Every structure is written in structure tokens, then in C-alpha cells.
């Protein structure tokens, strides 16, 4: 959504007064915050990727297997086709210029409550976690449940 204001010049003349009023035209680019749409039903759509995200993570420590199950059983916004995001998808939310209410580098509309979120990508007994403090990927064991959360995602179309 872009914002538009109009400016022009209008000359107002009176018996001995000349007043110039400036009314011009400029268009401001869409703000970065316009990238995300809050549907007020527990979901947020990323207009850049077309993905729909849960508006908040699972809220507790969770290992990779439980994270995958959590996403498969999630029904936010009345949808039942949720899944664990790929590493590319979860890392697309990282924005070093923004911070949510917990201080993590993600849009304020997305409530990630721990530094790292699980991704679906795996390597043998390890799975990817994306860190929203440093913008880095870690590969702990799937059974690890340290400061990890999961943020369900679905195709928005």
C-alpha cells in the first residue's frame, strides 16, 4: 500500500496581499511494515512471499519431532494445512532493522518468543534452527529442546 499526497501551487490575491499556497504531488513508497498483513485471527500473511504464518510461535521449549507434530496439528485461522517451515522460509522473516517485543529481529506482528525456530531441513539426526538474534543457522540434534520454538506456516493461496 503506498501513500499519496497531492501538492500544487495556488495564488491567492487580494487588494494588497499575495499569498502562495503550496499543494504538491509526491508518492511515498510502501513501508516495510506493509509487507505483513495481520488477519486478526492468529495469522499473518507475508505479501513478499505469499506465505501465511501463525502470528505466534508454540510458546514452549520443543524438540524437532514435537515441532513437526505441532505444526501438522495446528489449526490457526481455521486452516488445517499447516506445516513446519523450510529453512529458506523461516529465514525470510529475519530483518536486522526490526525487532519484535522480545527483541528478536522479526516483524512486530510475529511473536517469536525464543531466539531460534526449527525448520524442516534435516541432515541425518540433525535439524536446522534459524536464530533471530544473529541471523544464523544451527544444526542441533532433532532431540534437542533448548531455547527453540516453532512457527507454523502454510501456503497463503
Structural domains of the chain, ranges and CATH numbers in brackets: 32-155 (3.10.100.10)
Rg of the chain over CA atoms, in angstroms?
22
DSSP H/E element including 21: strand 18-23
SS3 70: helix
Q: Are 156 and 50 in contact (CB under 8 A)?
A: yes
Please report, in tens digits, the pLDDT of each residue of the chain (157 residues total).
433 333 344 444 555 554 444 333 333 344 555 899 999 999 999 999 999 999 999 999 999 999 999 999 999 999 999 999 999 999 999 999 999 999 999 999 999 999 999 999 999 999 999 999 999 999 999 999 888 999 999 997 6
What cell does 65 get? Answer: 519431532
pTM of the model: 0.78
Amino acid at each position: 500500500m503506498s501513500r499519496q499526497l497531492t501538492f500544487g501551487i495556488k495564488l491567492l490575491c487580494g487588494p494588497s496581499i499575495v499569498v502562495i499556497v503550496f499543494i504538491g504531488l509526491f508518492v511515498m513508497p510502501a513501508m516495510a511494515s506493509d509487507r505483513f498483513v495481520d488477519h486478526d485471527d492468529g495469522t499473518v500473511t507475508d505479501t513478499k512471499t505469499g506465505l501465511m504464518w501463525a502470528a505466534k510461535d508454540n510458546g514452549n521449549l520443543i524438540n524437532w519431532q514435537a515441532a513437526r507434530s505441532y505444526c501438522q496439528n495446528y489449526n490457526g485461522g481455521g486452516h488445517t494445512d499447516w506445516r513446519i517451515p523450510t529453512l529458506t522460509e523461516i529465514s525470510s522473516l529475519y530483518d536486522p532493522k526490526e525487532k519484535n517485543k522480545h527483541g528478536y529481529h522479526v516483524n512486530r506482528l510475529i511473536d517469536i518468543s525464543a531466539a531460534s525456530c526449527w525448520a524442516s531441513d534435516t541432515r541425518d539426526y540433525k535439524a536446522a534452527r534459524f536464530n533471530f538474534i544473529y541471523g544464523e543457522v544451527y544444526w542441533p540434534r532433532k532431540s534437542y529442546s533448548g531455547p527453540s520454538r516453532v512457527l507454523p506456516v502454510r501456503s497463503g493461496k
